[in-house]
Structure 1
């Protein structure tokens, strides 16, 4: 029980592991699309970052969305530069397992990505997602533009009301400006495409996210 409490306590910058000055080795291209994970990205495309539990299943949710150009898994929202997977699992980096989504806003609006995000997990669970317990599994939206920030806040407010009406507690999703995104090791990228029967701990609430008229599910 003590260990669980420690894993669910967000650390301070002073407690964080030192990390390293160079990136951990990662994949260069998306296994399915062949597009470069770390760019360059096409002109007119935008970047979104979401955390919703184990990033293996989370990434698959987004690469299936039409209009998404490339996805990658990594770590965001913490303090340790270029962390390894083992360091993130220790709870001593402050990072959340995250998915970077590069998308064409002329084909898929950010609000549609928010709908996928909220409906693909339970955003009321705090520092966990299902059986995955720890600060690295927290729910978070890291915005890259002011428009994304406004849309995320509006969607959170609307979905919070819908969830409360269905008997759920308040949404715990963190909404913050995106800092550095540290790409995870190569074997984590598109993990469920490489291992179709691999672990996916995601589970939604079954409650639809009302994010505004004109946005398809």
Structure 2
């Protein structure tokens, strides 16, 4: 499994926006991101496997764990990137990928991150409505500092940095073109 260390001075953020391969690549290419990993979060099955998550019976979403340097990129900028990189109105799908593991979700690690996530969800909800899309279905579930729930479970090694190992691998970003200033 990936190294669980977070570089000194980095903060963590967790994003679920469809297939995690393309989303991880998007974040690792973001200035200020210090490392990434993919895994499963938001469900109830401990230490799930990819095969279990794909059944839809674990409750988990494919999630990207992002460590970032807050002096170089803000959580707010990362959440904006999240809302602009996928269609948060599709429920349990992104494009051709269908299932609960492909849902849109944010897992803030602090009250400050949760405030930013909820504020931006409202801002983007208006932008998506004005652009003719349906209601945003993005879930926001704050990590409980006492229990660490919902836990992040690392995906199998072959999923980590998958698109470096498989540069022609499929997992596109499903951007709609909706943006906010």
Number of the residue aligned with 2:162: 191
Is contact 1:95-1:135 (8 Å) kept?
yes
Number of the residue aligned with 1:90: 55
> 1:171-210, aligned counterparts within 5 Å?
171-178=136-143, 179-210=150-181
Is contact 2:7-2:67 (8 Å) kept?
no
Unpaired runs of 5+ residues, structure 1, are: 1-25, 29-35, 211-217
Question: How far apart are the structure 2 equivalents of 1:199 and 1:106?
Answer: 33
Is contact 1:122-1:205 (8 Å) kept?
yes
Number of the residue aligned with 1:74: 39
Unpaired runs of 5+ residues, structure 2, are: 144-149
Question: How far apart are the structure 2 equivalents of 1:155 and 1:46?
Answer: 19
Is contact 1:77-1:94 (8 Å) kept?
yes
Number of the residue aligned with 1:129: 94
Number of the residue aligned with 2:66: 101
Number of the residue aligned with 1:59: 24
Number of the residue aligned with 1:168: 133
Question: How far apart are the structure 1 equivalents of 2:160 and 2:16?
Answer: 15
TM-score by length of 2: 0.94
Is contact 1:63-1:71 (8 Å) kept?
yes
From the CA coordinates, give the structure whose radius of gyration is larger.
1
Question: How far apart are the structure 2 equivalents of 1:137 and 1:100?
Answer: 15
Question: How far apart are the structure 2 equivalents of 1:115 and 1:46?
Answer: 17
Over aligned residues, Cα RMSD in angstroms? 1.0
1:202 shift after superposition:
2.7
**1:126 aligned counterpart, secondary structure:** coil
